[in-house]
Amino acid sequence: MRMVVIGLGYLGATHAACMAELGHDVLGIEIIAEKRELLAKGEVPFYEPGLPELLERHIQTGKLAVSGSYQEAAEFADVFFIAVGTPQKKGEYSADLRYVDAAIDELVPLLKRDALILGKSTVPVGTAQRLAERVAELRPDIQVEVAWNPEFLREGFAVKDTLHPDRLVLGVFSGGTAEQVVRDVYEAILNEGTPLIVTDPPSSELVKTSANAFLATKISFINAIAEVCDAAGADIKAIADAIGYDARIGRKFLNAGLGFGGGCLPKDIRAFMARAGELGAAEALSFLREVDNVNMRRRTRMVELAREVCGGSLLGSRVAVLGSAFKPESDDVRDSPALNVAGQMQLQGASVTVYDPKAMENSRRIFPTLDYAASALEACVDADAVMILTEWNEFISLDPARVAAVTRKNVVIDGRMCLNQTEWVRHGWVYRV
C-alpha cells in the first residue's frame, strides 16, 4: 500500500521505516531541510538501535523516500499518518498542537481525492474531533476521514515496538473506511496475533495518555516508597522485587532512583492534567500533580546527596556525572533527570564533568557550560564523587578498582540503583543511593 508519514522525528522516522519493512511504499515528509537531507542519505539524526540499518535498506530499495513537499505528499497516496511532535507549551502545562494543526492545514487543501488521515501523535482528548471538523470545513468537496492510531513505542526499542507491538489501537468515527485500511496496513502484525482494539477517537486518545500516566504513576509510587525507606532505613530494591512478584503489580517500571524524564512522560502527564481541567475534571487527575512532585523531588534529593557526600557544600568539589541521556540506549536529553542534576550541582559551585556513551553532542548543545570527558574513566579523574545517573551497561560493568585508581575520593552515588553494591564496597567505595 502507498502511504505518507508526516513528521520524521523519533516517532515518524521509525514508523516510516517500519512501514517500508512491512512492504509498503512510503513517502516521509519532513519540513526541516537538515533532517531531511540526512534521512534521504539513510542516516538517522538521533540514536535508535536498529533504525539506521532499516532506514538505509529501504531508502536503497526505493520503498521509502523523503520529501519536504506537501504537494508531492498529496499526489503520492490516500493514506496519511500524522507523526509530528506535540511538545509542552512554553510556560504552560498544555500540549502545543501547532505542528499537528499545521500538518492538516498544509496537506488538506492540496488533496486530490478522498483520503484517510491517521493520527499517531500523542494529543489531548478531543483533538481528532476538532481536526475532523477542520478538515470538513477545508474540503467540503471530498471525503477526508480522520481516525486516531496512537503509538506506544519506547525509545531504544522503537523498531521492535513498532513491528511487534503489544497491541494496536484505532479510534474511528462511524461510517468510515479506517478500520479496513488499518487492517491492511498492519496485516503482518495482526497475523502474529496482535490484538487490535477498535474504539471511538476520544477513547483512543485517552488510551495513550492513560498508559503514560499509569507508567509515570508506577515510577513515582516506588520513588515515594523509596523516600519512606530512606527515613526508615529499609531497602527499596528488596521491596520492589517482593511486591513485583505479585502478578497484579508486576516488577516492570518499579525501578526506584532518579525518576522519569524524556520527551513523553513528563509533558504527557502535564498535558493530561491541563486537558482534564479544561473538561471540568481536574479533580480526577489531581494525583498526577503529586506524581510530578515526587518525580521532581528525586532530582533535588540527588543534588542534596551529592552535597552531603562532598562535606556539606558543592563549592570547589569535583563531581563525575556518568550518564546524561534520559535513559540508556538513547541519546535523548529532553527533560533528562541526569542533566538537570548536573546543571543544578554546577550552579551550586561544583566542577561537573559529564560522560555519556551517546548523548554527548545533545548534552553539549543544551548545557555548553558543563565539562565533558571522552570516557567514563576520564570523567572520574580527581573526582570527589562519582554519580551514575543513567544506567548504561558500560557503567554497570565499570571496574571499581580501575575507577578508584583515578578518583580523589572513593564515593559513588548510584542514582539508578544499577551497580553491584557488594563489589564496589569490596573495593573500598562508599556506596550511596
* Chain residues that interact with ligand UGA, rule: CB under 6 A: 122, 151-155, 212, 215, 219, 253-255, 257, 259-262, 264-265, 268, 326-327
Q: Give the SS3 label for residue 1.
A: coil
Kindly state the smallest distance separating residue 153's Cβ from ligand UGA, in Å: 5
- Record the cell numbers describing residue 71, joined without a space: 504537494
Q: Which residue is catalytic, options 18, 264, 310, 380?
A: 264
Q: Give the SS3 label for residue 170.
A: strand
Kindly state the smallest distance separating residue 265's Cβ from ligand UGA, in Å: 5
Whole-angstrom CA distances from 301 to 287, 290, 339, 425, 433 are 21, 16, 14, 22, 10
Q: Please state, in angstroms and rounded to a whole number, the distance separating the CA atoms of residues 113 and 119.
A: 19
Smaller CB separation from ligand UGA, 122 or 407 = 122
Distance of CA 136 to the CA centre of its chain: 33
Q: Give the SS3 label for residue 148.
A: strand
- Record the cell numbers describing residue 384, joined without a space: 570527589
Phi and psi based region of residue 126 (left: phi greater than 0; alpha: psi -120 to 50; beta: remaining): left
Smaller CB separation from ligand UGA, 19 or 74 = 19
Smaller CB separation from ligand UGA, 258 or 386 = 258
Q: Give the SS3 label for residue 302.
A: helix
Smaller CB separation from ligand UGA, 121 or 317 = 121
Is there a catalytic annotation at residue 418?
A: no
Q: Please state, in angstroms and rounded to a whole number, the distance separating the CA atoms of residues 87 and 22.
A: 29
Smaller CB separation from ligand UGA, 99 or 326 = 326
Kindly state the smallest distance separating residue 367's Cβ from ligand UGA, in Å: 17
Kindly state the smallest distance separating residue 353's Cβ from ligand UGA, in Å: 22
Catalytic residues: 264
